[in-house]
Amino acid sequence: MSLPEYQPGLHTLLTLHVTRIEFLMDASLFVQFTDQMLAQFELGKVGFSQHIFENSSYTIAYCLKESHICIHTWPEHQQLTLDVYLCNYQQDNSEKVRTLAQAYVDFFEATILKQYEIQR
């Protein structure tokens, strides 16, 4: 008996180059923008954790009903890594993941250094 193919969701991984260092050192800007994106895309936040390092870089993880959004910044290298993963529990969220990823690229006024899409 063969099982139907189920694709749990799309996971996008980004490494971005950011020239505006303040975006990499002010976690509140990322939090404010992400909260707006969660409301716009009707995503459910179930957990949140952040750590601000001595150089003001930050790591933030949003745990969502649909999965997660995570960021790590390196202002000394003008880079950040970001991953966005949404499950396909009740609908295909692939385009939502792609739209969110592009929204972050636009928000940070960034250049994409690496981008991977993984069908889970």
pTM of the predicted protein model: 0.93
- 2 lies in some domain: no
- 34 lies in some domain: yes
- 46 lies in some domain: yes
Report whether 61 contacts 49 (CB < 8 A).
yes
User: 3-state class of 27 per DSSP?
Assistant: helix
Instruction: Give yes or no for residue 10 having a pLDDT over 80.
Output: yes
How many structural domains is the chain composed of? 1
Stronger pLDDT, 74 or 4, i.e. the higher one: 74
Rounded Cα gap, residues 116 and 106, in angstroms: 17
- 12 lies in some domain: no
Quote the pLDDT of residue 18: 98
- 108 lies in some domain: yes
- 5 lies in some domain: no
Quote the pLDDT of residue 117: 96
DSSP state of 52: E
Quote the pLDDT of residue 120: 87
Instruction: Give yes or no for residue 44 having a pLDDT over 80.
Output: yes
Instruction: Give yes or no for residue 58 having a pLDDT over 90.
Output: yes
CATH number reported for the structural domain that contains residue 90 in this entry = 3.60.90.10
| Structural domain range at position 40 | 17-119
pLDDT class of 1 with cuts at 50, 70, 90: low
Quote the pLDDT of residue 52: 98
- 76 lies in some domain: yes
Quote the pLDDT of residue 3: 62
- Which amino acid appears at position 8 of this protein? P
- 38 lies in some domain: yes
pLDDT class of 4 with cuts at 50, 70, 90: low
